[in-house]
Amino acid sequence: MVLGAAARVAIVGCRRLVSSSHAPLLVSSQSRQMSTDARSVSEKLRNSGLLRTQGLIGGKWIDSYDKTTIKVNNPATGEIVADVACMGVKETNDAIASSYEAFQSWSRLTAGERSKVLRRWFDLLVAHKEELGQLITLEQGKPLKEAIGEVAYGASFIEYYAEEAKRVYGDIIPPNSSDRRLLVLKQPIGVVGAITPWNFPLAMITRKVGPALASGCTVVVKPSELTPLTALAAAELALQAGVPPGALNVVMGNAPEIGDALLSSPQVRKITFTGSTAVGKKLMAAAAPTVKKVSLELGGNAPSIIFDDANLDVAVKGTLAAKFRNSGQTCVCANRVLVQDGIYDKFAEAFSEAVQKLEVGDGFKEGTTQGPLINDAAIQKVESFVQDAVSKGAKVLLGGKKHSLGMTFYEPTVIRDVTSNMIMSKEEIFGPVAPLIRFKTEEDAIRIANDTIAGLAAYIFTNSVQRSWRVSEALEYGLVGVNEGIISTEVAPFGGVKQSGLGREGSKYGMDEYHEIKYICMGDMNRQ
């Protein structure tokens, strides 16, 4: 039970008991029925054909073989959005077999033919951005404007890799003998198992499936049980675009069974995963017996470093974006805000004023900028981190408690005088809490920033070009933003160092994760 053990989710059939912020909501028999507004949105989505509740195997929409289901909830209200198929090992094995069979034909298409299919998929994603955004808000909770922004971001990977499919080049090596020719080919690796999280229900799928399909691979996607609806809608549009049966399969439900089936199958040649570091380590170990290629995008502990010479307005705006996007529930969120002595008090005041203006509410409400956390376990984690910091001397400047809206809403929070012995300095908060940490010198900032097992994203705010180069090169992180708080883009490589993962997603480098390199030595047939 590789996934289950690490995520601490106990699954009995498809009734789930929850003890982790990565786990699904516990749904009681007294869960509220859907409100009028949510029902209206759901009905429109159902009528459009995008609200799918079955898994996709071999181009067919199917129920779980034992007819069990799991409930998908709206975290803002607790309402049940849909009951979706709860699949397990049998369905996953069939999905793998379907992908393996489809690989034989999909991989033999020309790059141009695959490119055209992906381009049509991109066009459909963009054409349905409103509906997809509504689905994301329904099941994940982020504000609708932000959700539609995720659709645009997610679709950009399909567009990019539709183009990049035609730019996979091999090589010709100068031979060591005049009667030889040495060639290098890049070939698709095969069937890919893609395991994706709940915080970006569309973008984390397209960022993996786009380069996989462009390379000629086929894919079995396992979306989070918390947010499967967006994945299913995207798969429906992929079918409409002409992605052939079996090239893209989607199974969801019993995470341990699905994960173990993907990891143990010799037909699955690669695992790509976005999620916690603990689960990533389990996946690496479980992939070893079949020597699968593995790419991992894991947890972060991002520093946002504000130097004395920074433009205060730029630093406040950039850190606000880096910290509070998706209510702090991203792996690249600023987890620690390091502020130099000379600007500390000014920044704390200005930043708190900016945070105070954030609007908390249901994602469908106009003006909302902060939605709910994903579930009760996430709230409990944030509360425990704040309590730990306060008990050790930190001071809450703003927020610091559950929001009056109830459910899983938490007040945007700023805490000053945070030190290295507090949990929130060491572990990923994954919530709307900004800890302010004081430092004196540039060397201090680099030391504090690098004092973590994580190494995904970091942010610097300074008006010194020389300092920006020095610090960027000294930081042990895979991504660095200089005077910018939102740095992810489809054209640049995304990934971490240290225990934040392996490999890169996005950009031309993202294609390499789905290729094998083959060397061919051609001798002279007429050689005597």
Residues with a known catalytic role: 297
CB 493 within 8 A of CB 509: yes
Give residues with Cβ within 8 angstroms of 325, minimum separation 6. 146, 333, 486
CB 164 within 8 A of CB 511: yes
CB 337 within 8 A of CB 307: no
CA nearest to 57, candidates 318, 251, 263: 251
Q: Give me the count of residues in the chain.
A: 528
> What single-letter amino acid sits at 430?
F
429/23 Cα distance (integer angstroms): 16
> What single-letter amino acid sits at 390?
V
CB 208 within 8 A of CB 505: yes
232/354 Cα distance (integer angstroms): 37
Dihedral sign for Cα atoms in the order 260, 261, 262, 265: positive
> What single-letter amino acid sits at 267?
Q
User: HSE-up of 206 (CA within 13 Å, CB side)?
Assistant: 31
Contacts 24+ apart (CB under 8 A), 439-442: 439/305, 439/338, 439/339, 439/340, 439/341, 440/340, 440/341, 442/307, 442/467, 442/470, 442/471
Buried b (16+ CB within 10 A) or exposed e, 478-511: bbbbbbebebbebeebbbbebbbbbbbbbbbebb
